[in-house]
Structure 1
């Protein structure tokens, strides 16, 4: 799997880790579960950093910033494995957003340098789907149901239930039942929406590209000038 897609999967793993910590009151994990999870996340982050370095991309401030941010996330995940739950959760709180942000910077750098590593944009992703997949990658999307109706809740850009169902139908996203924390004290767990492996690979082809500027289509022809009859005096 390409490194950018691996980063998107890593962000999903951080979201799953954080969700697990946030739903402790609803589950009974085995001792050491979260310690091992944080250790694995640190190892995964370092592995992706190595994979990016092995591409031997041209040096650039954006690439350097992305790799430094990922190294910080690896250090924080490693530290989280040695703290109790509350402190551990604080250390990984913003990891999904940081990892996705680094993925976007690396992908944009590859396109800017016309790197042979940059894939062709997935033609299934219009602006609406691209935005939805990006919000899912950030760990912003959960769903709930009430009286037979499904609802999408987002911490960022709005995502419609129809868009989510379309992504699920195409195998780009999936829901994990009752894996996200409740919306309010005493409420039931929500369903976390995650990228599938195919969704991560698809988003990796367009992440870092402004949705509105992809495939703009032909430029409309200028309107024909209209002649105005001379006004009588």
Structure 2
């Protein structure tokens, strides 16, 4: 197998995946693409060397537009009920595809006013047209990973069993599931991966030990120096990303907590009873 020279021409999923990705797996992989794209723009705005190629950023935005519509098509091919959570999830994905198209236009405009490369200056002039176009493009895709993972949850809850992933990981508990979900949202970055590991998260705390365990099980990996620094002049961070196995495993438990392990001796969760409706009340409807 030859490796594509341009990561934006790479397949959405690893070619050695034993079966075609399910719609939920496709969405989780798409969320990862958006995180990588946003990180590229952040690194450009922070002026880190080596600079990401603006042309590559434009090609990346164009690919996001294309892949998002492909994911929508895959979802529409499934026997999903036409109920509000599902239809809203599809609408949000369509909106996201149009936002990716808008980002492509801003990045194309940025190419026309790109400053001359200068090794002496690593920071962009924030008042320049180039920086302004980058910021506008970045704003359009800022919430994409979170939007996609939320939509994946709504879709997963209503997919028939035959089109769900059957990949399970022994010992998967709520903490590990939540950590994988936060990785899918693009919320986890680390520094000092080879020594003392410092974890950066958004809202949900994730400890380094949980991440090390997930990495040892092949569920997540790190892309070195791909996430923006916390401040100008700071070192870039390593972005945590789901592996193909991690994507499959998360798609299995994203909305099905009964697949998670429970502490020994704990009772199984009881189903929530559905309130009955008196016959007289039913006859009046």
Matches of 2:196 and 2:237, distance apart in 1: 14
Matches of 2:59 and 2:193, distance apart in 1: 36
User: 5+ residue gaps in structure 2?
Assistant: 1-20, 107-132, 269-285
Report the more deviating stretch, 114-123 or 33-42.
114-123
1:167 aligned to 177, 197, 214, which one? 214
Give the 3 Å change call, closer, same or farther, for CA 94–147 of structure 1 in structure 2. Answer: closer
Q: Does 1:117 align with 2:163?
A: yes
What's the CA shift for 1:29? 3.1
Matches of 1:119 and 1:177, distance apart in 2: 29
Higher normalized strand content (fraction of residues)? 1
Scaled by the length of structure 1, the TM-score of the pair is: 0.86
User: 5+ residue gaps in structure 1?
Assistant: 221-233
Matches of 1:31 and 1:19, distance apart in 2: 13
Q: Does 1:201 align with 2:248?
A: yes
What's the CA shift for 1:115? 4.2
Q: How many residues align?
A: 216
CA contact (8 A) 1:178 1:189 kept: yes
CA RMSD of aligned residues (A): 2.1
Matches of 1:147 and 1:76, distance apart in 2: 37
CA contact (8 A) 2:220 2:243 kept: yes
Map of 1:18 onto structure 2: 38
What's the CA shift for 1:33? 1.6
Map of 1:92 onto structure 2: 141
Map of 1:39 onto structure 2: 62
1:187 aligned to 207, 230, 234, which one? 234
Q: Report Cα offsets for 1:56-77 as digits up to 9, x if no partner.
A: 2222211101100100000000
Moved over 6 A (4+): none
Map of 1:224 onto structure 2: none
Scaled by the length of structure 2, the TM-score of the pair is: 0.71
1:150 aligned to 174, 190, 197, which one? 197
